[in-house]
Structure 1
Amino acid sequence: MVGGGSFGTAVAILLVRAGLRTTLLVRSAEHAEELRRRRENRRYLPGVPLPPALRVAALAGDWGEPLARADLVFLAVPSKALPTAVEALGQRKPPAHAGLVSLAKGLVPPDGRQPTALLADRFGGDRIACVGGPAHAREMVEAGAGLVCAAWSRELAHAVAGVFQAAGVVCEVSSDPVGVELAGVAKNAAAVAVGATREQGLNAAGMAAADIFLEVLAFAERRGAQARTFVGRAGTGDLVATALAPTSRNRTAGELLAQGVPAAEIPARVGQAVEALETVQLLAQAIAREGLEAPVTSALAHLIDGSLPLDRWVALVRAQQPPPARFGRPRSWLLRMRYLARRLRRRRQLADGQDATGAAPE
């Protein structure tokens, strides 16, 4: 497990519960020593004991030995740090059979690439998976979660899901890494929007979240994602969990934005990185490059960078009218069959000397 934040620590605990020999790699030697001594990650997951079997090492040290024996490598680092982690992995050459699993829910700067795309370019798509879904870190280790593991490889997706299931956590299998990742990105952006808007009205908060999901879904479909992923656990399920969580970093970030706190100061207030503050900007730019309109996502990016006042953000959300539905002739084979059946019945009635209502002509 590369990354010792709250989610990385929680997943490492689950891996040990599943019976895997697990090493948790954290950023500094000081943090690694603290975890080994206290057997608790007081910085990011206080009150949750680390299993005795969990090994802890520092990324700055020699972690080539545990990596050389790895069957799975989980990456729980912020998306902006992923290129550095990928470079370090490439230098240490993980085993050719090892699967690489991204736990990030952001986009990689500077062009807003998805984490799995970056990993696939370096290590090959068949080795890459990602995990999404409603998974609040503390609740995940204490009561469970609703994870979704997506991969292009059926075998890898089932292997990762099997590990979580062995740890007592529900994990759905998906063949849609693009959808799972972008649904997580949409969830984070929508959670910030909810936090920034809910004091101005719950209806407006719901409108903002829905419009962002709709805009990101259009973008995701351009990249080959499945719409059903966005209405499943990786999308709306994760959004509900994040919006309701008292300690949600993204919703809290939105609330702080509404209070006038600059985005640059929010991570220090929250005590951890808030990926959405950087990801929303990358997302808005990526959507624009696709030639798609995303007025709410774009406005949220401007709210975050300070160029859009809160009152104008709320006014835009309340006034935004989504694109109208497209009406056309029904193409369902069932409707077509019903139409043909009615025509056949009418011909028979006419042949029998009856009108279309069943009465004999006068």
Structure 2
Amino acid sequence: MPGFATDVQRVTVLGAGSWGTAFAKVLGDAGRDVTMWARREEVAAEIRDRHTNGSYLPDVRLPERVTATSDAAAALAGAQAVVLAVPSQSLRANLSVWRELLPADAILVSLAKGVELGTLKRMSEVVAEIARVDVGEVVVVSGPNLAREIAAAQPSAAVVACPDHERAVAIQRACSNGYFRPYTNTDVVGCELGGACKNVIALSCGMAAGLGLGTNTMATLITRGLAEMARLGAKLGADPLTFAGLAGVGDLVATCSSPLSRNRTFGERLGRGETLEQAQAAAGGQVAEGVMSCSSIRALAQSLGVDMPLTDAMHRVCHEGVDPRQAGTELLGRSQKHEWY
């Protein structure tokens, strides 16, 4: 028998942002008992007493099965699965605090999409290192996951990836409901790279929109962005088919196309001439994941000798002061080549 619950009933979600709250709702609507941890007690109290989280998902009613606390130890007590729903660049610091509180047999699930600055590790690798578990035991959820649409119970699908297929199946069953359809996959590398890279490509699509460019440009950026993530994935041993699926092109299209995408809207502000600080202020003080990930993904690609010109351009716009229009001109002026190289 496996050392974890194959029929997961009690789930803890650590993080009460938009996606963490939406995923808690998914689990509750799937008949699971969910305890959320929120950093601010007022957010936890609102979820616990009113079953809403107006700071992140206004007008969304959470199931009665979903409760919350600001006490991490209380949130984690008795959990059969622990969902990590904090931003990628703060995952290490948060998990270091929570490590001693994690139930020994709980399945660890990562919702974060990014590559860690400095270490250049994927999120499952960070979780495995800090929680002191085998990286093959960490489950990753990815795909077209626009939180507001999922919280509104609009039909959606996702990928639940883990090398240990039984763990993936346990989480698949725990989050499957009438509007959320999860598929399993064993290719964690491909799923995580797709989830991280699409944020960077969405920044570029937002910038293009801010510059007044149209559908042909968007399609070009999405397609060439897909080529970049596939090249990086191939170097790291990912399954090429993953990038044709929900965690690849599915997530890429959703994030690059929707006004609900924080990365796209952040990029659009930069394309209209706002500074990084102005765009951050307009986003309520939050920086889009792609702004940080463009640097770590660029460094990872460079360390492996993988050409990622769009990612490099986004790094230079966000962190070196290059004008978005200039970056576009430089991309178009690159030497001509075969499409698949």
User: SS of the counterpart of 1:101?
Assistant: strand
Q: Contact (CA 8 Å) 2:313, 2:327: kept in 1 or not?
A: yes
> 1:314–1:71: structure 2 CA closer, same or farther, 3 Å change rule?
same
> 1:244–1:208: structure 2 CA closer, same or farther, 3 Å change rule?
closer
2-structure distance, mates of 1:283, 1:323: 23
Once superposed, what is the RMSD of the aligned Cα atoms?
2.0
Q: Which residue of 1 aligns with 2:185?
A: 174
The structural deviation recorded for 1:273 is 4.1
Q: Which residue of 2 aligns with 1:9?
A: 21
Q: Which residue of 1 aligns with 2:60?
A: 48
| Equivalent residue for 1:157, pick from 149, 161, 168 | 168
| Equivalent residue for 2:278, pick from 254, 265, 270 | 265
Q: Which residue of 1 aligns with 2:125?
A: 117
User: SS of the counterpart of 2:216?
Assistant: helix
Q: Which amino acid aligns with 1:217?
A: A
Residues 297-336 of structure 1 aligned to structure 2 (within 5 Å)? 297-320=311-334, 323-324=337-338
Q: Which residue of 2 aligns with 1:344?
A: none
1-structure distance, mates of 2:330, 2:222: 13
2-structure distance, mates of 1:71, 1:35: 21
1-structure distance, mates of 2:76, 2:302: 39
Q: Is 1:134 the equivalent of 2:148?
A: no
The structural deviation recorded for 1:111 is 2.7
178-187 or 270-279, larger mean C-alpha shift? 270-279
> 1:2–1:273: structure 2 CA closer, same or farther, 3 Å change rule?
farther
The structural deviation recorded for 1:323 is 4.1
1-structure distance, mates of 2:197, 2:325: 23
Q: Which residue of 1 aligns with 2:309?
A: 295
User: SS of the counterpart of 1:254?
Assistant: helix
The structural deviation recorded for 1:184 is 1.1
> 1:326–1:252: structure 2 CA closer, same or farther, 3 Å change rule?
closer
Deviations along 1:197-252, one digit per CA (max 9) or x if unpaired, are 13234333332332232222211222121111111111111122223322211111
Structure number, greater radius of gyration: 1
| Equivalent residue for 1:108, pick from 101, 116, 121 | 116
Q: Where do 5+ consecutive residues of structure 1 fail to align? A: 328-362
Q: Where do 5+ consecutive residues of structure 2 fail to align? A: 1-12
| TM-score of the pair, normalised by structure 1 | 0.84
> 1:269–1:153: structure 2 CA closer, same or farther, 3 Å change rule?
same
User: SS of the counterpart of 2:299?
Assistant: helix
1-structure distance, mates of 2:111, 2:231: 23
| Equivalent residue for 1:145, pick from 119, 140, 156 | 156
Q: Contact (CA 8 Å) 1:69, 1:95: kept in 2 or not?
A: yes
User: SS of the counterpart of 1:255?
Assistant: helix
The structural deviation recorded for 1:311 is 2.1
2-structure distance, mates of 1:143, 1:202: 25
Q: Contact (CA 8 Å) 1:149, 1:160: kept in 2 or not?
A: yes
Higher relative contact order (CA 8 A, sep 6+): 2
Q: Which amino acid aligns with 1:99?
A: I
Residues 23-62 of structure 1 aligned to structure 2 (within 5 Å)? 23-58=35-70, 61=71
Q: Which amino acid aligns with 1:226?
A: D
Q: Contact (CA 8 Å) 1:15, 1:167: kept in 2 or not?
A: no
Q: Which residue of 1 aligns with 2:299?
A: 285
The structural deviation recorded for 1:168 is 4.3
| Equivalent residue for 2:258, pick from 245, 250, 261 | 245
Q: Contact (CA 8 Å) 1:98, 1:127: kept in 2 or not?
A: no
| Equivalent residue for 1:186, pick from 188, 192, 197 | 197
Q: Contact (CA 8 Å) 1:263, 1:277: kept in 2 or not?
A: no
Q: Which residue of 1 aligns with 2:32?
A: 20
Q: Contact (CA 8 Å) 2:198, 2:256: kept in 1 or not?
A: no
Percent identical: 31
Deviations along 1:319-358, one digit per CA (max 9) or x if unpaired, are 345642689xxxxxxxxxxxxxxxxxxxxxxxxxxxxxxx
Q: Which amino acid aligns with 2:255?
A: T
| Equivalent residue for 1:82, pick from 91, 112, 115 | 91
